[in-house]
Chain A
Amino acid sequence: MGELVAEWLRALSFGGGFNTNVVLCAAILLGVAAGTVGVFSMLRKESLVADAFAHASLAGVAAAFLVRGALTAEGSAPRSMEVLILGAGVSGSLAVGAIGWLTRNTRLTADTATAAVSSASFGLGICLLSIARRAGGAGQAGLDDLIFGSAASMTRADAWTMGILAALTLTITLVASKPLTAIAFSDRYARTTGLRVPAMEALLAALVAAVTLAGMQAVGMLLIVALLVIPPATARLWARRVPPLLALSASIGGLSAWTGTSLSAAAPNAPTGALIVLTASALFVVSLAAAPERGVIAGLLRRARLRRDANAAALRARDARGA
């Protein structure tokens, strides 16, 4: 146990060898990018869209796996994670497009459309996955890596790709933070300023997709959503303006990725994604309890104080009547 902690601390302080450090840096960037993009999803009340994108990704991954198997010669199966991630991007985008179309053109509300598309496409993904598993062949492990996440399986090139994609997403989000805030606050007002709201909505969806795809291999397609949702929700408990909200959410995302990834580097076979998400969740629970205004404890204290004041006032009134 002590050995594990020592091993973890070494990885945490970037003492774990060059490859580990590259993966760690890329994961931190991913956490920061997810924490930043996630703020705008939360403010637009669209956190579930990322969830739908991730669920729908499975069908694309499995389909891409089957296509790749059919196209490559026996025995030569390339590792090419990119093909699988491309498949995820296609099916995820189709699902998000379908949700948008259903919301605009039918009487379904956004949450119903999201839940319906999300579960239907996940069902399709499960079917394709079982076919892919039966087809077997080389590279099956790649499927599991994408579904459950495994930083240990990442090559240096994988880590570079993830890091660059995350840095790019982060930069675009920060540059576009004003218009993204505007469409989240009021898309009616945003439109009267001349902002192209549909274009900004598409940009936000693309940023969410980029983070999800970038983090799929390290964190896993289902857990990456947590990195988009939990840090903003945690930061919202402390921050009352958008700039500190962004800074705090990005920090929480980066910190969770840092802690979780170095933990999984110390303990081989430990699930990276799960550890990252559990770290973020722990921060959320602590914040929920302890935050000064929106926290549970502060709320209970305010309530108790109010009750005491009410009782005191009643007593005073009774004394006054008695006197």
Chain B
Amino acid sequence: MILREESGVPLAVTALSVAYRDEPVLWDVNWSVRAGSMTAVVGPNGAGKTTLLSASLGLVPRLAGDVRFWGQPFSAVRDRVAHVPQRESVDWDFPVTARDVVRMGAMRGAAWWLPGWLVPTRAGRRETERRVEDALVRVDMTELGARPIGELSGGQQQRVFLARALAQDADLVILDEPFAGVDEGTEAVLTAELRRLAEAGRTVIAVHHDLGSVARHFDDALVLDRTVRAQGPAAEALATWRGDVGAAAAGV
């Protein structure tokens, strides 16, 4: 019998390799995320950052290796994990309002797929709406809740998707490039809310492209370039990686 012991590690990746057809994208990745931390995934373009997150969430098939969330497979804990997608992967002309998107997160759980007219309890519906409004308030989007998502600015769209993750009340929030192309106001809202999550004991993982601000925003970092180059406290991991790159350059 396999013991599925609950562990305190929100995400542990062991010997993970991923390939698109016969093209390896990730090779033997070993990575462990600290509970309650804000962890950045950084690395050059094409390093496999998004693929690492997708493979962890079971959205891309694994070639080899294992991914555990609190010691369990993703399928056992999916509602405890929230995912904020990359902006480019969203259909912005879809007929939904900001509030509808947030409601998707608030309705996670056993019977989310039931149509409204089949949901029995009024209390359940009220609870859902309360969570939606709370999340909208936290990202300062209450007034724009009725707008179609396509009519929002890039920063507002990013806030809506963070609100969806907040409404889900997840223990682990995974974001793909949350700061890409957003205004300063949104960046401040995002960092404040993510920091609040971490202080409440939740774990935040984000793909991040700006090496200069990693140490300012995040506690830990994973430096990825098809395989793990460095991991640990953000400043140290970056220094290790720079050192490696420097040594390699000097060796040439």
Contact = CB atoms under 8 A, between A and B. Distances in A.
Interface in A226-260: 236, 239-242, 245
Given A43-B94, A185-B94, A240-B95, A179 B81 contact: no
Interface stretch (A57-65, A124-132, A186-194, A299-307): A186-194
B174 to A, nearest CB: 9
Contacts of B104: 182, 189
Nearest to B111: A178
A186 B85 contact: yes
Interface stretch (B33-41, B112-120, B124-132, B210-218): B112-120
Nearest to A184: B94
A9 interface: no
Contacts of B59: 188, 191-192
B96 A241 contact: yes
A186 B95 contact: no
A297 to B, nearest CB: 20
Interface in B91-145: 91, 94-97, 100, 104, 108, 112-115, 118
Contacts of B112: 178, 193
B94 A188 contact: no
A175 B116 CA distance: 9
Contact of A188 (B81, B85, B97, B118): B85
B83 interface: yes
Contacts of B91: 185-186
A135 interface: no
Contacts of A206: none
B75 interface: yes
A225 B19 CA distance: 39
A174 B117 CA distance: 10
B90 interface: yes
B16 to A, nearest CB: 18
Interface residues of A, number: 24
Interface in A179-210: 179, 182, 184-186, 188-189, 191-195
B96 A192 contact: no
B197 to A, nearest CB: 18
B113 to A, nearest CB: 5
A241 B115 contact: no
B167 to A, nearest CB: 13
B115 A192 contact: no
B118 A240 contact: no
A177 B115 contact: yes
Question: Among the interface residues B85, B95, B148, which one has the most CB atoms of the partner chain A within 10 A?
Answer: B95
Contacts of B54: 188
A193 B108 contact: yes
A176 B118 CA distance: 11
Interface in A128-146: none
Interface in B19-68: 54, 57-59
Nearest to B74: A192
Contacts of A185: 91, 94, 96
A8 to B, nearest CB: 35
Contact of B100 (A176, A184, A188, A241): A241
Contact of B78 (A182, A192, A239): A192
B83 A192 contact: yes
Contacts of A242: 95-96, 100
A174 B115 contact: yes
B75 to A, nearest CB: 7
A239 B104 CA distance: 20
A182 B112 CA distance: 11
Contacts of A241: 95-97, 100, 148
Given A188-B85, A189-B83, A194-B78, A175 B115 contact: yes
A186 B90 contact: yes
A178 B115 contact: yes
Contacts of A193: 78-79, 108, 112
B95 A239 contact: yes
Interface of B: 54, 57-59, 75, 78-79, 81, 83, 85, 89-91, 94-97, 100, 104, 108, 112-115, 118, 148
23 contacts: A43-B94, A178-B113, A178-B114, A182-B104, A184-B94, A186-B85, A186-B89, A186-B91, A188-B85, A189-B83, A191-B57, A191-B58, A192-B57, A192-B59, A193-B112, A194-B75, A236-B95, A239-B95, A240-B95, A240-B97, A240-B148, A241-B95, A241-B148
